[in-house]
Amino acid sequence: MVEYLIVILANLLVGGMIGLTGIAGFLLPMLYSGFMGMPAAQGMALSFFAFLISGVLGAWNYHRAKNLDVRLGLLISAGSLIGASLGVWLNLLMDESLVKRILYLVVLASGISILLRKDRDRKTGGREKLPAWGMVAFGLVTGALCALSGAGGPILVMPLLVVLGVPVKTAVGVALFNSIFIAIPSCIGYSLQCDPGTFLSLLAVSMISHGAGVWAGSRNTSFLKPEPLKKGVAVFSVCIAVFKLITG
């Protein structure tokens, strides 16, 4: 029962932070594998099913607000479907301890990027920076890295899109949309490696609580300022990643 309670609370909190800021999903695989001691495949499967929920809800909200460039999202996601499949395959071939260290390194880099990034909208539109095939290649590489490490998608894709000149709100919308296509092959690949006896019941409570958290967070953005929350998540992520890298 303690395990179920932790999963429910974690998904409510992380889902809420995703609803408010668009980030924080990468904390789930770290919690599952790094602190709860779950097998890496089970932790990844639970995490990516949660990312699928937050991606669908988040992308829909951004589309309604006209902050989703569908063409750009489809180009990146075409590469991400292939890249995520490759990332899952590589993950299952690697030693579990190496996979965890990759996750911690990605979380560390992501936390640092949040602290250093400035949320300033750009006037240029991102698509002039790379041709269509370049955006597909971008999706392939980021999709593989996200699926391999469990980093989700927005935490890596969104800052890189901003660097390429995509306006911040559009970058968040595209990254959430793209996370759906990273999650689909990841959910399938990792769940096939899990024991269905315990996995299915944990999956049910995690998806329900994660969806509730995302919904609540996205409905209450006016009550909390997302920027301090982002910084708090970043500092926490850096500290935890450094601790886990040092202690193993």
Per residue in 182-205, pLDDT (tens digit) is 999 999 999 998 888 889 999 999
Residue 234: CA count within 13 A, CB half-sphere = 19
Q: How far is CA 120 from CA 19, 124, 231, in A?
A: 20, 12, 16
**Cα–Cα dist 8/103, whole Å:** 22
Which pLDDT does position 74 carry in this prediction? 96
Which range of 11-25, 69-83, 208-222 scores highest in mean pLDDT? It is 69-83
Which pLDDT does position 135 carry in this prediction? 93
Amino acid at 166: V
Say if residue 122's pLDDT is above 70: no
For 138-169, what is each residue's pLDDT tens digit?
999 999 988 988 877 777 787 778 778 788 77
**Cα–Cα dist 1/36, whole Å:** 13
Which pLDDT does position 220 carry in this prediction? 66
Range of the domain at 130: 2-247
For 52-80, what is each residue's pLDDT tens digit?
998 898 888 888 888 899 999 999 999 99
Burial per residue of 1-14, b for 16 or more beta-carbon CB atoms within 10 angstroms, e otherwise: eeeeeebbebbbbb
User: Domain total for the chain?
Assistant: 1
**Cα–Cα dist 107/150, whole Å:** 9
